[in-house]
Amino acid sequence: MSWLLDIFLVVGAYIYVILVILIPKYLKEKEKISGFTARKIIHLLAGLSIFITPFLEFYWYAVIISGSLMILVFFSSKESKIKPLKELYEAISEEAEEKVGYLQGPFNYCLSVFLLMLVFSIIATFGLKLFYFPIAGILIMIVSDTLASVIGKRYGRIKIKLKWTNTERTIIGSLTLFASAFALSYLSYWLFGFVLIMDQVTITIEEVLIFSLLTSVIATITELLSPSTYDDLTVPILTTIVIFIFSIFI
């Protein structure tokens, strides 16, 4: 009956993501929230669907889901002939995306999830199910990055300006990212590597702590040094790759 659970999880994930997109879009159209808020809500909630991955018998479903959403976002543009895709672009697009003509930020977001699910699904075919690593990286992208942005804009007084990033970061924003990244990494490693082991590779509580600390440091540095247009790619991918390589040699 494992195939039935897989189907249930996949259908549930699609329904969840569709609602996460449609509800903020509707609220924006009714002028209940701004386009910025709608985009942040989708950014914060949509990626939580990756929590189904450790429970899947056929883990390639995670690749299929993320890949299909990546394609949907790529074709969401102001020139799209498909009305829902055009409306999605108009609801959550940013001014900087006018030049490229599609939802570049959300596309990078989906591309990161797709690539991480693909790589770790390939690794899993060799008997090493380590999905708590990409889950941690993705959680940092969707939650920590959002928190850092919101809190940094609201409370940031000490600015960090690096010319190539095309944006201003703040000390309080980076500290927020570090603290939340540690908490989220700990949650992922502890929950899926230590408690709900299932068929994942087991790790010790000491490794949970070390991995969490290292992950949060890598994520904070990567986000600080990354161009704002590409941090949805660099933060989850580099963070996950580095911590995975580190885990091999300890």
Segment 214-220 shows an average pLDDT of 96
**Confidence (pLDDT) at 164:** 63
Domain residue limits, the chain = 1-107, 130-250
Q: What CA–CA distance (Å, rounded) separates 45 from 229?
A: 20
What share of the chain in percent tops pLDDT 70? 96
**Confidence (pLDDT) at 183:** 97
Question: Mean pLDDT score of the chain, rounded to an integer?
Answer: 89
Question: What is each CA distance from 187 to 29, 76, 82, 102, 109, in whole angstroms?
Answer: 35, 33, 39, 34, 21
What share of the chain in percent tops pLDDT 90? 55
Please state which of the ranges 161-170, 177-186, 196-205, 241-250 shows the lowest mean pLDDT: 161-170
Give residue-wise pLDDT tens across range 109-126: 999 999 999 999 999 999
Q: What CA–CA distance (Å, rounded) separates 65 from 45?
A: 15
Token output for 100: 């490229």
**Confidence (pLDDT) at 23:** 92
Of 82, 193, 80, 212, whose CA–CA distance to 131 is shortest? 193
Q: What CA–CA distance (Å, rounded) separates 116 from 32?
A: 35
Give residue-wise pLDDT tens across range 43-94: 889 999 999 999 999 999 999 999 999 999 998 888 888 888 888 888 788 8
CA–chain centroid gap for 22, Å, is 19
**Confidence (pLDDT) at 165:** 63
Whole-model pTM: value is 0.91
